Chain A
Amino acid sequence: MPDGLPTEIDLSRPSAARVYDYFLGGGHNFEIDRQLAEQIAAMTPNLPATMRAGRDFLRRAVRMLLDAGIDQFLDIGSGIPTVGNVHEVAQAANPKARVVYVDIDPVAVAHSRELLTGNDLTAVLHADLRDPEGILAEARRLDLLDFDRPLGILLAGVVHFVPDTDRPADIMAALRAAAAPGSHLVISHSTFEDQPQEMLDAQRLSARTATEITLRSCAEITGFFGDWVLVEPGVVYMELWRPDSPSEVDADAQRFGAFGGVARYDRAAD
C-alpha cells in the first residue's frame, strides 16, 4: 500500500469526489456527500455553477490539447469520471488517445476502474498528488503513456487541495520535469481574489471532506506553470478561458471563483 494513502475506508465522511459528482448531477454519492453538497450550495449559490464551469473549462482545455496534437493525458485528481470525463472527450476526437487517471480517493479509484473496464487505453492509479515521484513511477510502470512524447498533464480543481506546507510549487516542478517538450499543463484552481465572504466561508466547510481547500492568488497559480509558455489568454477566470462562444460568457465571470490556464513546454524555453 503506497505511503500516505488511507488505510481504511471511512464512509461516514463526505468525499470531495462524490460531492463533486453530486454537483454535476451524478448519482455516485451517498447521503453524507449530498448533505454537505446541499450545505455548501446553500451558503454559496455560485459554487455548483463554479464546479460546472470547471468541468467546462476542462473539456475546452482537453479539446485545445487534442487540437494541438496531444494524444496522451495524465489526469491527476480525476475524481469520479461520470460525465464529460477526459477519455470520452479525448477518444471522441482521437480514438487512440490514452488517459491515465490518478486519484487519492480509493472509492473514486475503484469506481473508475469499474467504469473503464474494457477500455485498454485508459488506466487508473491510486496515488497522492503530494508524491509526484510516486505517481510518475507508477505511471511509467503502466507503460501506457510515452514520456518521451508530448503529454497533457491535467490538474483540474485539485492543486487547491495541497496546502502550502506540502510545497505545491515543488510538486508542479517535479511533474513538469518529467514531461517532454511539446507537453501541456492544464490547471484550474480556486481563488480568494474578488470573492464574496460566503465563498471564503465555504472553503472552511471543505475541511469536512478529507482535505481542506487552500485558496490562492492568480500570481501564485501562474507560478505553478513555471517556465512553460502560457497559451492565450493566460491564467484567467475559467469561464473567460477560450469560451465556446462569446455569448456564453457570464457578465461577471469572477463569480465562479477559480482561475484556469494552460501552458506549453517549448523546447526553446529549455
Chain B
Amino acid sequence: MAEVDAAGEDAVDRTGAQRYAAEWARAVRRLGFVPLSAAETERLLLAYTLRLADALRTDESVASVAEEIGRAMVETNLTEPGMIEWSVRALADRLPARVLCGRGGSGAAAGLAGRIAAAQGGLAAGFARALRDRTFVHQERIARSAWQARDAVEQALRDSEARFRAVFSGAAIGIGIADVDGRIIDVNQAFADMLGYPVEELRRLDVASLFHPDDVAGMSELYRELVEGKRESVRAEQRYHRKDGTCVWADLAVSLIRHDDGRPRFTVAVAEDITGRYELQRRLRFQALHDPLTELPNRTLFFETLGRLLGQAGPVGLCFLDLDGFKAINDSLGHDLGDRLLVTIARRLAGCVAERGYLVARMGGDEFAILVDGDAGIDGVIAVAEAVLAAVSAPVFVDDQQLMVSASIGIVDSEHVGASVAELMKAAHTTLYWAKAQGRGRWAVYDPERSARDIARSGRLAGLPLALDRGEFVLHYQPIVSLLDGRMLAVEALVRWQHPQLGLIGPDRFIGLAEETGLIVRLGEWVLRQACRDARGWHTEFPDARLVVSVNLAARQADAPAIVDTVADTLASSGLPAELLQLELTESAVMGSAEEPLRTLHRLAGLGVRLAIDDFGTGYSNLAYLRRLPITCLKLAAPFVEGIRGDEPDAADHRDERIVDALVRLAHALELWVTAEGVETEAQAERLRALRCDTAQGRLFGPPEPADAIRTRLAGG
C-alpha cells in the first residue's frame, strides 16, 4: 500500500520496498560473496531501502544517509564492484518507481531527481571511502601478519641457531664442519682441545692435514667417497697428531650434509677422544699376549704369529731352547733369583735378534722360542742359535752371584718338518731333547730319519712288557761244539721277539731297551726258565748227550739279590741237573770291585752251575781278580776270531792269532775252558784247533735255531 503523508510528498510503498530489497539481495548474492543467508541479506537490504526511501522522500540530507549505507555495504562485505554498480543504478532506475509513490508535479519530480543524484553520489562515495579504508586496513594487516610470521620463523631460526650454537660450543665431544674441498669451516672448543690447536688455527687448516701419516691412504679414500656423495657417513677409530706431536685416538663419525638438491655441501665430523680407552685396550692386549715377568711375547702371541707365518706359506725356522739345569738353580738359589736370571736371559735373547726383528717368546718356565721368518734358510737359523748360545753363556751377575748358564737349542724349519704348528712344535721338542742328550750347551737340527727311528724305538719300548706278557718271545739255540771231535757239547740260548707285525726281531733291537727300562730282569728270568725247561727235555730224551744250555745273564740280573734264588728255583722246578746249566756274564758284570757280585758268583757256583765270561777280551779284565772267580769258561769275542782267516795269513792275521793264542794259554793257565765265537769257516776252525781252543760256535757249526731243531740234531747224533 502506498503511503502519502500530509505534506503531499511521495510516500514509501512498503511492499514495493520489500520487493526492491529482494531484487537487491538477489543481485548482490549473484554478484559476489555475501556472508549472510538470503533472508538475512534481504532483511539487511530492506532496512537500507527504507532508510534511503525515507531520505529521498523527505528533504533531509540524503547524501549523508546514502553515504552511510554505502559504508555499511562494505562493512557487511558487499564489496564487489558489481554490487555498488547495481545499487547506484537501481537507485535511479528502480527505487523511485517501486518504492516511492510519486504524486508530485514536475517541481517535485525535479526535486526528487536532484535528491536521487545526491543519494547516488553519497552511496558511491560512502562505498568507495569505506572500501578504500578497508583495503588499507586489510593490506596493512596482511603485510603486518606476513612480517610477524616471518619474524616468528626467523626467531625460531635464531632460537634454533642459538640452541645449536650452545650444543656446538658446549659439547664435550669434538664437532667440526668442513666443506667438500676439505677446508675446515668451523670446529668447536672440544675439537680444538682434543687436537691441541687454537680454534682459529684449525679453521685455517685442511681436513687431510690432520690425518695420521699411517692412515692417510685409507682415510683419503673414505673421505673422497664421502664428499663425492658415494657414502653418507664414515665411522672409524682414528689416530691424529696433536699440535704438540703426541698422538690422540678418536672415535670419529663423519656425516655428509647435502644441499636441498642433493649435492654434497658439508661434512660434519663428531670425534670423541678415546685415547685412554684405546691405551687401556692396547695394554690389555699387550698383557694378554706378553709374559709379565720378561715382557717378551707369550705362547699365545707366539702361536698366533707362527700360525700366521705358516699360513703365508713362506719358510719359517724355529729355535726352541731351554736353559740347562735351570731347575737346580731355581731350587738352590730361590725363585726370586731364578726369575731375575730369566729376565736377564730374556733381554739377551731379545738383543740377539732385535736387529733382524725375529720374534722371541717365553713359552713358559725356562723355555723360549725364536721365530726366524723370511729366507734366512737353515744356515740363518743355525746362525741365530749360535748367537743365542754365545749370549746365554756369558756370565750372569745376580745379587753379587755369578751364574754360568748354558742353553740347549732344538732347530726346526717348516721346509723339513711340514707347515703345521703342531708338527713343528713336536719336532722342536724332540730336537731340543737330542741337543740335551748330546751333552747340553749346544744346538741340534731336526733330522727326520732320526726322528723316525726314535719313534720306532719308543714304539718298541712301549710294546716290550706287553710282548712278554703275551708270550711273544721265543728262544733259539746255537750249538757250541768241541773242536776236537766236533761233538755238540752245549747250546747258547738266544732270545727273539716274534713281533705280531714286524716278524722276528733280533736281540740287538730290544735288549738295550729292556736293559734301560729294567724289563731285562723279568725277560732274563723268562729266558732262564724256558732254556732250563728245554734243556731238561733234551736231557730226559738224550741223557747221554749231557748237553749243556748256556744262558746269558745281564749285568742287572746278576746284580739282583734274588738271582741265586731264582736260579736255584729254576733248576729245582725244571729238574735240570745244575752242571748242565751255564750262565754267561759280561766282563763288566763280574769285574766290579764290589764284594756283592763276587759273593753272588760264588753262591751261583755253589749251586753247581757253570759260569762263563762272555765276549772276553772286549772289557778290562783284572787278571788277578779273574783268578779268584769261580768261573769255568771264557768265551772269546767274535772280533778276534774274525781276524783269523787262516788261508792267507797277513800281518793283521798274525796279530789276532797271537792274541787268541795268548788268551787260550791264559785260560788254560787258569784251568778254564775256551770257547771261540763267530767261527764261520773251516780254515778258522782249523787255526783255532791248532791254537788248542776247546770249543767253538758260529755259522760253521750251525745258526741259532728253534729247540726242535736241536732235538733233531741230538736225535741224529
Contacts and interface: CB of A to CB of B under 8 A. Distances in A.
A164 interface: no
Contacts of B150: 9, 11, 106
A84 B138 contact: no
Residue from A9, A25, A30, A59 whose CB has the most chain B CB atoms within 10 Å: A25
Contacts of B38: 244-245, 247-248
Contacts of B148: 110, 113-114
Contact of B142 (A1, A25, A29, A245): A29
- Chain A contact patch, size range: 35 or more
A7 B80 contact: no
23 contacts: A1-B153, A6-B153, A7-B153, A8-B153, A9-B150, A23-B33, A25-B79, A27-B137, A28-B141, A28-B142, A29-B142, A30-B142, A82-B138, A83-B35, A106-B149, A106-B153, A108-B145, A111-B141, A114-B148, A244-B37, A244-B39, A245-B39, A248-B38
B80 A25 contact: yes
Chain B, interface size category, equals: 20 to 34
A7 B134 contact: no
A202 interface: no
Interface in B561-606: none
Given A25-B32, A25-B33, A52-B33, 9 more contacts: A6-B153, A7-B156, A18-B142, A25-B79, A28-B142, A82-B138, A108-B145, A110-B149, A114-B144
Interface string B275-315: 00000000000000000000000000000000000000000
B37 A110 contact: no
Interface string B56-100: 000000000000000000000101100000000000000000000
Interface in B131-183: 134-139, 141-142, 144-146, 148-150, 152-153, 156-157, 160
Nearest to A10: B150
Interface string A82-122: 11100000000000000000000011111101110000000
B134 A55 contact: no
Contacts of B142: 18, 27-30, 80, 107, 111
A1 B145 CA distance: 18
Interface string B117-143: 000000000000000001111110110
A175 interface: no
A25 B77 contact: yes
B447 to A, nearest CB: 80
A26 B78 CA distance: 10
Contacts of B37: 59-60, 244
Interface in A24-71: 24-30, 51-52, 55, 59-60
A59 to B, nearest CB: 7
Interface of A: 1, 6-9, 11, 18, 23-30, 51-52, 55, 59-60, 80, 82-84, 106-111, 113-115, 244-245, 247-248
Query: Top 3 nearest A-B pairs by Cβ distance?
Result: A84-B35, A27-B138, A111-B145
Contacts of A23: 33
Contacts of A84: 33, 35-36, 77
The majority secondary structure among interface residues of chain B is: helix
A28 B138 contact: yes
Contacts of B79: 25
A24 B134 CA distance: 14
A111 B149 CA distance: 9
A247 B150 CA distance: 46
Nearest to B138: A27
A52 B153 CA distance: 32
Given A80-B142, A244-B38, A106 B152 contact: yes
Contacts, number: 90
B32 A27 contact: no
Contacts of A24: 33, 77
Contacts of A51: 33
Given A27-B142, A107-B145, A52 B32 contact: yes
Nearest to B132: A27
Nearest to A2: B156
Nearest to B32: A25
Contacts of B80: 25
A107 B138 contact: no
Contacts of A247: 38
A25 to B, nearest CB: 4
Contacts of B149: 9, 106-107, 109-110
A27 B33 contact: no
A114 B77 contact: no
Contacts of A9: 146, 149-150, 153
A106 B157 CA distance: 14
Contacts of B144: 110, 114
Contact of B141 (A6, A30, A115, A248): A115
A83 B33 contact: yes
B83 to A, nearest CB: 9
B21 to A, nearest CB: 15
Nearest to A63: B37
A247 B23 CA distance: 13
Contacts of A248: 29, 38
Q: Which of A6, A60, A82, A107 has the most CB of B within 10 A?
A: A107
Contacts of B157: 7
Instruction: Give the interface centre of A26, A27, A245 by most chain B CB atoms within 10 Å.
Output: A27
Nearest to A106: B149
B73 to A, nearest CB: 11
Contacts of B137: 27
A244 B144 CA distance: 37
A75 to B, nearest CB: 15
A1 B141 contact: no
A110 B160 contact: no
Contacts of A18: 142
A25 B32 CA distance: 8
Contacts of A80: 142
Which among B33, B137, B144 has the highest number of chain A CB atoms within 10 Å? B33
Contacts of B138: 26-29, 82
Which of A8, A28, A114 gathers the greatest number of chain B CB atoms within 10 Å?
A28
Nearest to A53: B33
Nearest to A30: B142
Contacts of A106: 149-150, 152-153
B18 to A, nearest CB: 15
Contacts of B136: 27
Interface string B6-34: 00000000000000000000000100110
A148 B237 CA distance: 56
Interface centre among B36, B136, B141, B149 (most CB of A within 10 A): B149
Contacts of B139: 27-28
A1 B156 contact: yes
A7 B156 CA distance: 8
Interface in B96-118: none
Contacts of B35: 55, 59, 83-84
Contact of B152 (A29, A108, A110): A110
A56 B141 CA distance: 25
A55 B153 contact: no
B146 A110 contact: yes
B134 A27 contact: yes
B103 to A, nearest CB: 34
